[in-house]
Chain A
Amino acid sequence: MYYEKRISERLKVFGLFGFIPLLVFFLVMIVPFVIGILMTVTTWTGLTGSLFEFIGFENFISAFSDPNFGSSLIATFKYVVFTLVLTNVLGFGLALLVTQGRKGQEFFKLSFFTPNLIGGIILGFIWQFIFSRAFVSVGVELGWGIFSVSWLANPETALWTLIIVSVWQSSGYMMLIYIAGLMGIDKSLMEASLLDGASAFKQLIKVKIPLMIPSFTISLFLTLQRSFLVYDTNLSLTDGGPFRSTELIAMHIYQEAFTYQRFGEGQAKALVLFVIVALIAITQVGIMKKMEVEA
């Protein structure tokens, strides 16, 4: 540990190590965050108005009375729940599959991970073609009703295309986290449970899963964050359509601000999103930490 007595020396150390990064952090994160809060309760819109002219909670009231905001939130929750469950079930399953000690599993592991390398914009365009052209041609050719109309054209199925693409994209990433968890389990515990006559399934439920709660905490946290804030895939795959039915919350905020130029209301919605994300993250990690202790 270092101690500098003189103020001038302390300033020098701070200038060397802390000043530039903290200045940039302050300008890029703290200033927009604080101004963002002020924006919602004053007349300032970024272009006109004043940051000191208080208008109360008007922006929040109009945000909550916008029916599109509500329907966007509902679509987002639905998307998050299905994506969360399916991504983690599939990710965990893949992790079990590629840790059996069989030949070729490294190759499978890498190929399951590949979609993660590619940005949401490009993946969304790829799947747009798959859903609107490839699947439709299969459907028409074979007379399969579920594929003969593009899933992107129907509000019911369009949200599912987003869920499918997100699960396909993220499950390989979660697989890696679960693999690390599986590798960390003490081998002697597995042997002991085998000696006790536990079946492979029982071993999974009674030994592996309880010991892997930390992996679940991380994976669920990451999937929650990712899926609440998804924007790229949403933009390139469905662009919010048809009829704004798949306009998830991040895209809704973007539209509000940059297409309709309603900055104050848009920022009010953005802060609501922040509160939701923060509350869910804190609650989830809190609950899981408790489970870790008990397990």
Chain B
Amino acid sequence: MKSKKIKSLLYYLLSLFLFLAFVFPFIIIIINSFKDNLSVVRNPLALPEVLSFSNYTQAFSAMNFISALKNSLIVTIGSSLLIIVFSSMLAYFLVRWKWKINRFIFLLLVMSMIIPFQSLMIPFVSIYGRLGLLDSKYVLMFYYLGFGLSLATFIYHGFIKNIPFELEEAAIIDGASRLQVFWKVIFPILKPITSTVLILDVLWIWNDFLLPSLVLVSADERTIPLSTFSFFGTYTNNYGLAMAGLVLAIIPIIIFFLILQKHIVRGVVEGAIK
């Protein structure tokens, strides 16, 4: 019995240690986000003497937080919806129509998944910069559709393959068109896989920096990672203020996680294993 208790104690000590190792950076920036610059420099580990939100109000306006949040929401939701609609339809088409070229298209999509964005970004910027197709968050959504299509199609493809065709036959006899069969019969069955794709894409696009940094040039188009980057660059030496900006930048995704934690954990695992 004694050894069991010691084991249990050791277990919790180890877990607590690891827990602290994972969360202490967040605790430190939260503590310092309430302090003025001088007390941060004096001792970054001390608790704030007074609870002042002045750093937050200042960071909020300096980051143009509302505008950045709005841009991030539009880009993330818009791109994810585009990816879901078009990749589920494409996957359905590739599974249900056994044209010879469809095998080739599928292979091309799978192979393209290995191409890193860094190997495309130089010609990408050259071509679309020249055509004047940068600096708009709506154009950015179509780029995300292009970059996110192959993985999402691949995930949907694996799932649709296993849906029995008989389910569709009844709808066809009732006179449904091809599109109606897809949206009324197939798409509802895809719900669990759609939520996996949605979670993967939201986490990716919300946090993405490199592509939007190349596409979105003007300040009022910036998403949260972009505005955090320029804000931190401007106020690097005003620590309290910079920390408040970082905390603000983290809050939306943490709220998203707290609401949907079960789905997110499941979605991330399924998206990786698929």
Contacts and interface: CB of A to CB of B under 8 A. Distances in A.
Same complex origin of A and B: yes
A274 B116 contact: yes
A271 interface: yes
A32 B131 CA distance: 13
Nearest to B204: A119
A97 B93 contact: no
A17 to B, nearest CB: 4
A20 interface: yes
Nearest to B41: A133
A184 to B, nearest CB: 10
Mostly, the A contact residues are helix
A176 B267 CA distance: 11
B116 to A, nearest CB: 5
Interface residues of B, number: 91
A98 to B, nearest CB: 8
18 contacts: A2-B96, A16-B179, A17-B89, A18-B93, A117-B207, A118-B250, A119-B225, A125-B228, A126-B25, A134-B44, A137-B43, A229-B117, A231-B209, A232-B225, A250-B116, A258-B214, A267-B123, A277-B116
Interface residues of A, number: 88
A177 B273 contact: yes
Interface string A128-168: 01100110011000000000000000000000000000001
Contact of A21 (B89, B225, B268): B89
B257 A114 contact: yes
B194 interface: no
A88 B178 CA distance: 46
A44 B157 CA distance: 38
A47 interface: yes
Contacts of B130: 46-47
Contacts of B75: none
A270 B210 CA distance: 15
Interface in B1-47: 8, 11-12, 14-15, 18-19, 21-23, 25-26, 28-29, 32, 40-41, 43-45
Given A46-B122, A102-B11, 10 more contacts: A2-B97, A13-B178, A17-B92, A17-B178, A20-B86, A29-B120, A31-B127, A250-B118, A257-B121, A270-B119
Mostly, the B contact residues are helix
Contact of B149 (A21, A257, A277): A21
Given A21-B86, A31-B127, A32-B124, A126 B246 contact: yes
Given A118-B253, A126-B29, A232-B209, A28 B142 contact: yes
Which 3 pairs across A and B sit closest by C-beta, in order of nearness? Answer: A28-B146, A46-B126, A119-B207
A27 interface: yes
A189 interface: no
B242 interface: yes
Contacts of B253: 117-118
Interface in B66-123: 86-87, 89-90, 92-94, 96-99, 105, 108-109, 112, 114-123
Given A21-B145, A121-B228, A263-B122, A218 B116 contact: no
Contacts of B119: 33, 36, 270-271, 273-274
Interface of B: 8, 11-12, 14-15, 18-19, 21-23, 25-26, 28-29, 32, 40-41, 43-45, 86-87, 89-90, 92-94, 96-99, 105, 108-109, 112, 114-127, 129-130, 142-143, 145-147, 149-150, 153, 165, 178-179, 182, 203, 206-210, 214, 225, 228-229, 232, 239, 242-243, 246, 249-250, 253-254, 256-257, 261, 264-265, 268-269, 272-273
Nearest to A276: B116
A172 interface: yes
Nearest to B153: A21
A173 to B, nearest CB: 7
A77 B22 CA distance: 26
Contacts of B92: 17
A143 to B, nearest CB: 15
A267 B122 contact: yes
Given A27-B146, A120-B209, A177-B273, A274 B115 contact: yes
A133 B44 contact: yes
Contacts of A2: 96-97, 178
A63 interface: no
B146 A29 contact: yes
Nearest to A21: B86
Contacts of A258: 125, 214
A119 B228 CA distance: 11
A100 interface: yes
B29 A129 contact: yes
Contacts of B32: 129
